[in-house]
Amino acid sequence: MTNTAQPPPASGARSARPEHLGHVIFITAAAAMGGFLFGYDSSVINGAVEAIRDRYDIGSGTLAQVIAIALIGCAVGAATAGRIADRIGRIRCMQIAAVLFTVSAVGSALPFALWDLALWRIIGGFAIGMASVIGPAYIAEVSPPAYRGRLASFQQAAIVIGIAVSQLVNYGILQLADGEQRGEIGGLEAWQWMLGVMVVPAVLYGLLSFAIPESPRFLISVGKVDKAKQVLFEVEGKNVDLNARIIEIDHAMRREHKSTFKDLLGSRFGFLPIVWVGIGLSVFQQLVGINVAFYYSATLWQSVGVDPSSSFLYSFTTSIINIIGTVIAMVLVDRIGRRPLALIGSAGMAIALALEAWAFSADLVDGKLPETQGIVALIAAHVFVLFFALSWGVVVWVFLGEMFPNRIRAAALGIAASAQWIANWAITASFPSLADWNLSGTYVIYTVFAVLSIPFVLRYVKETKGKALEEMG
């Protein structure tokens, strides 16, 4: 279609301002429903942890595996979603994820035994992994460059709203069950309702996927140029030279042959350096222990003497702080840039985690932390989540949607997201046993990773603010 040796003509896309920004926001929000389900499904298990332990009479090690096993599905889903999306399209990939979310919700609510509960969680994890890849990739591909940072933030905003809604639903169900996770409501135990309610957003996600257009980059890759022009007109506006824009995108995609796993490999150290940077961002995002706050917070607070209803309430207030931090990041990500936010967040998280480690080092008195340490632990936990949300929670997904060259974006994002899920699994599976060993020491480990993330960003991570996707790499 175009001479790959010559630069494409300027299209004006970099400064494009769509006439119907509301339509672009709707498209982005619909795609981000996968992020909502990602957050909801990841966090909803928080309300069922102690009930599952009691119902199946299992110890911390087995319990951790049941909770964390979904993350194996996440890693597989993330690793394969890029290839699936390149083969059948971004929208079809979303629809497959919606079906898997629905099946997982029904199965998890009605398990026959511990083994099939684990199986349904793996299936749900596969859907989460797919959503974690396809959401940011699709949003990056349909967003006008001038708005891309803010629109890419929708993915993380949807994730944190999903987390908050899951905790609110869990709290409401717990109240209906008189504060008992195993209390009966309509013939099912409270924790089963917690896991089953996800059917509602899963079905909505599937329906919304029929109301949004396919990615213009995928349409161009399969020769549907007229449809791609129509989508570009919708999302980038009439002031963009559509023919030049098509050539620009096609030129970027044709600079090298179609992406394969081999394209991610370098001559040294396995992957290309840019892929390792993406993996590093993903891994550091998890190794600070953020998902302990969402998978185990109710259990954590109960372990230091907080009653069950209050522990669920604290889980919900943490989720609200998460939303506030995400909104702050959405406002700042295109103003001050991705790297400064990441560095601010790393410093704030390190301080908060260190304070939590100090607070949890105190001996329990009558099964509770001393008053001072209890207050410090509670405040520091919320500060930690705030700094994570206004930084790494958002900027990692923005980076992963932007930083890779077009030719490897989907595959590289899949590898990075898969690494994220593996790191998530390591933290989630190890926390109950580490907490039994030394809760304070566990938080010291998370503090160390928060500190190490600072030199990593300073040395290896480049700013992507304001650049068109075709400029990457």
Three-state SS annotation for 308-359: HHHHHHHHHHHHHHHHHHHHHHHHHCCCCCHHHHHHHHHHHHHHHHHHHHHH
What pLDDT shows up at residue 4?
44
The most confident of the ranges 11-25, 180-194, 231-245, 439-453 is 439-453
What's the mean pLDDT when you consider all of the chain? Answer: 83
3-state helix, strand, coil in the chain (%, to 5): 75, 0, 20
- Beta carbons within 8 Å of 192's beta carbon, 6+ residues apart: 109, 110
Q: What is the mean pLDDT of residues 32-49?
A: 85
- Beta carbons within 8 Å of 319's beta carbon, 6+ residues apart: 43, 160, 163, 164, 167, 168, 294
Task: Indicate the burial class of 343 (C-beta count within 10 angstroms; 0-12, 13-18, 19 or more).
Answer: middle
Q: What would the pLDDT profile of 437-456 be if each residue is shown by its tens digit?
A: 888 999 999 999 999 999 99
Least confident of 116-120, 209-213, 374-378: 374-378
Q: What is the mean pLDDT of residues 374-398?
A: 90
What pLDDT shows up at residue 347?
97
Q: How long is the chain? A: 473
Q: Residue 433: in which H helix or E strand, if any?
A: helix 409-460
What pLDDT shows up at residue 244?
82
Grouping H, G, I as helix, E, B as strand and the rest as coil, residue 132 is: helix
What pLDDT shows up at residue 336?
87
Residue 267 pLDDT level (bands cut at 50, 70, 90): low
In angstroms, the CA 337 to CA 246 distance is 28
Task: Indicate the burial class of 282 (C-beta count within 10 angstroms; 0-12, 13-18, 19 or more).
Answer: buried
pLDDT at 319 over 90: no
pLDDT at 112 over 80: yes
Q: What would the pLDDT profile of 217-242 be if each residue is shown by its tens digit?
A: 889 888 888 888 888 888 877 777 77
pLDDT at 257 over 50: no
- Are 104 and 178 in contact by the 8 Å Cβ rule? The answer is no
pLDDT at 296 over 80: no
pLDDT at 184 over 90: no
Q: What is the mean pLDDT of residues 276-293?
A: 91
Q: What is the mean pLDDT of residues 165-183?
A: 85
- Beta carbons within 8 Å of 141's beta carbon, 6+ residues apart: 90, 215, 216, 217, 218, 469
Burial 117-126, CB ≥16 within 10 A → b, else e: bbbbbbbbbb
Q: What would the pLDDT profile of 200-223 be if each residue is shown by its tens digit?
A: 999 999 999 999 999 888 898 888
Query: In DSSP terms, which residues pair with 184 in a beta bridge?
Result: 189
What pLDDT shows up at residue 3?
45
Q: What is the mean pLDDT of residues 309-319?
A: 76
Residue type, 80: T
- Are 374 and 359 in contact by the 8 Å Cβ rule? The answer is yes
pLDDT at 395 over 50: yes
Beta strand segments in 67-211, E: 184-185, 188-189
Grouping H, G, I as helix, E, B as strand and the rest as coil, residue 268 is: coil
What pLDDT shows up at residue 468?
58
Residue 384 pLDDT level (bands cut at 50, 70, 90): very high
The residue among 154 and 98 whose pLDDT is bigger is 98
pLDDT at 13 over 60: no
Grouping H, G, I as helix, E, B as strand and the rest as coil, residue 265 is: strand
Q: Give how far Cα 320 sits from Cα of 163, 301, 383, Å.
A: 9, 17, 12
Least confident of 77-81, 108-112, 149-153, 464-468: 464-468
| Closest to 468 in 3D by CA, of 249, 218, 221 | 249
Take residue 2 and report the two structure tokens written for it: 């175009």
Query: In DSSP terms, which residues pair with 265 in a beta bridge?
Result: 271
What pLDDT shows up at residue 1?
44
In angstroms, the CA 283 to CA 420 distance is 5
**Residue with token string 């899963």:** 202
Q: What is the DSSP letter of 259?
A: P
